[in-house]
Structure 1
Amino acid sequence: MEISKKLTEVADLTSRADPSITVLLTGPEERRDEGALALRSLAPWLPGWSILILPSDSGDIRRSQARQRNERLVLISAALTLIAAGAILSGRMVARELEIAREKADFAANVSHELRSPITQIRVKGEALQLGLIDDEEEAREHYDAIVREAERLTRLVNNVLDFAAIERGAKSYTLRPGDLGEAVRAAVETARYSAETRKLEMQLDLPDSLPVVRFDPEAIAQVMQNLISNAAKYGDKGGWIGVSAWAVPDGVEVRVSDRGIGIPAKDVPRVFDRFYRSGDSETRRRKGTGIGLTIVKYIMEAHGGAVRVASVPGEGTTFTIHFPTGPSATSPKERQHGQTSVR
């Protein structure tokens, strides 16, 4: 057949032009090699005939097949890795969402409990006075003092919740100005002293005659001190001790609040400043709290360009240290000219 003869000649020429392949013209009765690189049917011009392209070396076929197999294995492995990674990530995200939901539920329950306690005390003491059940003047004064004390406690709790909400929204700001940190610490201790004494807690204040001037927001630092002292009182034993001290360091001023209470388990120390976090330790759980007080302390100190750190020994007590930098480390030149700084 003239056409097939011509095609055979073309195939031979192609094979000689590229030694790595062999081009064959196969008829209806000829076997088609499975190792072919390409197969092209010549129908309808030559029914049953095909052009077959083969590697010249049979080893090329094996290498080609091995390469294709390896490529498939790589793709399958990559796909399985992505599926596994996605499953693990999804599992972790679900676990974290469940943990956050549990923490928020605990927070709501703890806030409700913390609100109920001072409200109950205020109502009981107030009704006793209103109904004339207290005849003794000294006892009446104690009731009035208790009402004021519980109202202050309620105010601190509400302020913490509101400030925490503002922090979460990124809407909380502070105005820093030069001031006497020693006086701010002294005022906070005096505010907390009466409450500590009712729990038979000894409070010790150790301040030097003077401290370097630092920049701070008085209300915010009062809140920091109240939260730290309240925390020390909560986790301290009745009849225990709370120590507050301050001193100058080369790069600033540090204030320390210590107690001789139950301490913090080592595994919980890295997370004490996390929002909503409360130790799973049974003794800690027994002492109610909102889980946001220390979070607020950390936020305020970082807004002041400072820091807070904690050291604790279970069964012996805990010490929180807050650091205030001296100098213009946290302010711009323009802000320093005006003597105060607003920060978030």
Structure 2
Amino acid sequence: MPEELQKRYRRIAVLLIFSVLLPTGALATLSVFAQSRETDLILAEMEQNHYSVARAVCGRFDAELLSAEERIVRTANLFCPDEVTREGLEDFFGLLKRRHRLVQEVAFVSEDEEVVWPIDPFGVRVVGKTGRRPFVEPTDPKEIEIQKKAVESKMLLDRLERSGASDEEVERETRRIIKEVEDEEVVARARLMLAQVLLKRDAAEAQKVLRKVFNSSALVKGVPAALEAMLTYLDAGGKEKDNVARRAFKLLLDSAEMLKKPKFDALLARLKKHIKEGDLRYRSLERRLKALLSRWRMRRVVSDEIVPKIREYLKGVYDTRLRSRHIRRCIGKSRWEVYSYFAVERRLLYKEQRTRFVVVYRLNPEEVRSILLFVLNRTGPSGEPRLRVKLFGKVAFSDNVSAWQFSVRYEPPNAVVPLTVEVYSAQVARLRSWLLGRAVFNILLVVFFVILAGAGVLLVLRAVRREIDLARLRAEFVSSVSHELKTPLTSIMMFAEMLKEGRVRGRERLKRYSEIIAAESQRLFRMITNVLDLARIEEGRKQYQMQKTDMREVVRRSLAALSYHIASTGFTVETQFPDQPLQVFADPDALEQVTVNLLSNAIKYSRDEKWVGVRLEKRNSFAILEVEDHGIGIPENEKELVFERFYRTTISRASKSAGTGIGLNLVRTIVEAHGGKVEV
């Protein structure tokens, strides 16, 4: 394509892109942005409605919980004993728990920061290593002898333990002590030491020795000898394990006041190895253990964490409103517990003086959940949306939200207890689905219009390029026709001038020049006819005179018309015709024009091998005309293009062969008008 045409083509392409694709793309972007903005606004409005629902539930629940705590304060001020005693506090706190299930565990703290209640359940009773005083004024020689043997035996047992005596010596001495000494504590200790030795060689005998200590009330190293014997018996795999374990459990709980907490934990760990988890036979003992540990933990929490808060509270430094008098404690990764405290209105008599006291209680999670369910039944939404509520880090209420879409999560900043409300809605899912479908539809619609606009641009560019190519081909056609017309005219004018001036001598030369003039005239006539037929075909004015025609005669006339040209160029034409006439219903002049164009092309584009083959045959109901040459050939990718108007192959243009590019186009047009088909 010439450079000027390429520039024009680029300008047209850029103009179309800027005038069609860019506005379409901008509109598409604006449409998508507007759709996204609308979606965000609708979802934001729905989320605000859901936040309102969550805030309403949290506000109502908070009010109910504070109201319940106000009732606890009134009850405490009304029934609190005037004098602080253990029995009075037990009755008072029992009453408080019975009337208010929100109270789970209670503590009582004086203004001197002394935790009066609960009493520490571990190590309260300090007991000596013996159950009785070791040195008593003797009143009876026999009693003196008994005490003397007891003291000597204890010293012997201590020496055996410290010195690491052999098992034989330990067994011998302990058996002697058991037989001779009457002191219960010494005998129990000796039996325990003997059992430890016997376990190494005779477990059955060791278990018999241990069972004799089960009913002992003595203490060995601060631990009930019976408890130690039972645990050793269980460790040794003794019989009646469940019964022994239950007795050991009960004895351990009864002995908590004389055991330090670490020792209690160690003994409990030994006992737990022999108790099945969830065994109903231990339910009451488990409840006692739970209450015991709860009292101990309550005292520790109050002493370590709440007493400093109470100090500031009594001084009036902190806000005294009930909402502010709560302390949250995290136990584990996501579990919480909440403590509340308040001061008794009047001073109480304690240690012979009037003292201010503060009541501290731990909120019961089950009762808090009951208050939440009460609030949800009265003020919670019914149907849409649905809620899931977490209290103290655990799910306390869930309204079958598994199939619903999560919307919002709300955690009130100043709630009394750790509270999280999650709102789920089926409308959110439906709305998101509808908005997504609408957005996808709009995007697809925009994409369709963009593609449609792009396709239109491509079609316009293709049409423009086609017109530019057609203009180029027309220009080449005009140049080729001018050259093609000029060549025969030059020959005609030259030989006619020679004849006119009488410079031709001899009849043979005169005849030859006349034949040249006639041949060139026919050639000129054929070119003009082709051009005129092309014009008629473009205007739709081409008409054919259809009649019965012998194809053999058509081919012969065509060869006769080109006979001078064939002879002058030295070509050999090989023909193959059927013996019988090959009749077709067609315009003989049009078919002759087709045959002449095919033969002219075969002669024109042949190289050194000057041979042309013409075959005519009948195949089924069609007359087949084949023209074969050994010329320059046609590239495979241009075989369909050679029938286009004004088209010339790259090989023909490179060889600079003469031609107009309309011959084969006329051939195809005429053949197809007769219901035929032409192919290379």
CA RMSD in angstroms, aligned pairs only = 2.7
2:558 to 168, 173, 188: 188
Code of the residue aligned with 2:600 in structure 1: it is S
- Which residue does 1:164 correspond to in 2? 534
Cα 1:244–1:62 shift into 2, 3 Å: closer
Deviation at 1:138, TM superposition (A): 2.3
Query: What is the CA-CA distance between 1:172 and the residue it aligns to?
Result: 0.9
Q: Which residue of 1 aligns with 2:644?
A: 274
What are the within-5 Å matches in structure 2 for residues 97-116 of structure 1?
Answer: 97-116=467-486
How far does residue 157 in structure 1 lie from its aligned partner after superposition?
A: 0.4
Q: Provide the C-alpha distance between the structure 2 equivalents of 1:232 and 1:289, rounded to a whole number of angstroms.
A: 12
Q: Distance in 1 between matches of 2:444 and 2:668?
A: 48
SS at match of 2:546: strand
SS in 2 for 1:242: strand
Cα gap change, 1:139 to 1:306, in 2 (>3 Å) = same
Instruction: Name the amino acid aligned to 2:616.
Output: A
One-letter code aligned to 1:35: E
Unaligned regions of 5+ residues in structure 2, if any?
A: 1-41, 48-383, 386-424
1:302 is the counterpart of 2:672: yes
Q: Residue 162 of structure 1: CA displacement? A: 0.5
Q: Give the counterpart of 2:45 among 35, 38, 45.
A: 35
CA distance in 1, matches of 2:675, 2:622: 11
Q: Distance in 1 between matches of 2:533 and 2:474?
A: 16
* CA spacing shift, 1:238–1:135, aligned 2, 3 Å: farther
Contact 1:205 1:244 in 2 (8 A): yes
Distance 1:130 1:238, change over 3 A: farther
Q: Once the two structures are superposed, what CA deviation does each residue of 1:120-142 show, in whole Å capped at 9, x if it has no partner? A: 11111111222223224322322
1:88 corresponding residue in structure 2: 458
Equivalent position to 1:236, from 600, 606, 609: 606
| Alignment partners' CA distance in 2, 1:68 and 1:308 | 54
Partner letter of residue 45 of structure 2?
G
- 2:274 corresponds to which residue? none
Structure with the larger strand share: 1
Among 496, 510, 524, the alignment partner of 1:140 is: 510
Deviation at 1:248, TM superposition (A): 2.1
Pair 1:70–1:227, CA change in 2 (3 A) = closer
Whole-Å separation in 2 of the counterparts to 1:182 and 1:66: 74
Distance change (3 Å), C-alpha of 1:64 and 1:302: closer
Correspondence 1:42-81 to 2 at 5 A: 57=425, 59-60=428-429, 62-63=432-433, 66-67=436-437, 69-81=439-451
TM-score by length of 2: 0.36
Q: Give the deviation of 1:199 after TM superposition.
A: 0.7
Q: CA deviation at 1:34?
A: 4.1
Distance in 2 between the 1:73 and 1:217 partners? 59
Conservation of the 8 A alpha-carbon contact between 1:199 and 1:239 = no
**Deviations 1:25-69 (CA, angstroms, capped at 9, x unpaired):** xxxxxxx994259xxxxxxxxxxxxxxxxx953725655654554
- The answer to whether residue 597 in structure 2 is matched with residue 227 in structure 1 is yes
Provide closer, same or farther for how the CA distance between residues 297 and 83 of structure 1 changes in structure 2, counting only shifts above 3 A: closer
TM-score normalised over the length of structure 1: 0.69
Displacement of 1:77 in angstroms is 2.8
In 1, the alpha carbon distance for the partners of 2:437 and 2:572 equals 79
1:83–1:211: structure 2 CA closer, same or farther, 3 Å change rule?
same
| Aligned residues between the structures | 264
Q: Is the 8 A contact 1:236 1:260 kept in 2?
A: yes
Q: Which is richer in helix?
A: 2
Q: Is contact 2:582–2:618 with CA below 8 Å preserved after alignment?
A: yes
Match of 2:162 in 1: none
Tell me, yes or no, if the aligned pair for 1:189 and 1:205 is still in contact at 8 Å. no
* Residues 207, 95 of structure 1: alpha-carbon distance in 2 compared, 3 angstrom cutoff: same
Report the alpha carbon displacement of residue 239 of structure 1 after superposing the two structures with TM. 5.7
| Mapped contact 1:244–1:256 kept (Cα < 8 A) | yes
- Give structure 1 stretches of 5+ with no counterpart: 1-31, 38-54, 311-344
Alignment partner, residue 257 of structure 1: 627
Which letter maps to 1:229? L
SS of the equivalent of 2:671 reads: helix
Higher alpha-carbon Rg: 2
* 1:158–1:83 CA distance, 2 compared to 1 (3 A): same
Q: Is the 8 A contact 2:489 2:520 kept in 1?
A: yes
Q: In structure 2, what is the equivalent of residue 314 of structure 1? A: none
Provide the secondary structure at the position in 2 that maps to 1:277.
coil
Give the 3-state SS of the residue equivalent to 1:175 in structure 2: coil
Matched, 1:118 2:488: yes
Shift of 1:81: 2.5
Letter aligned with residue 257 of structure 1: V
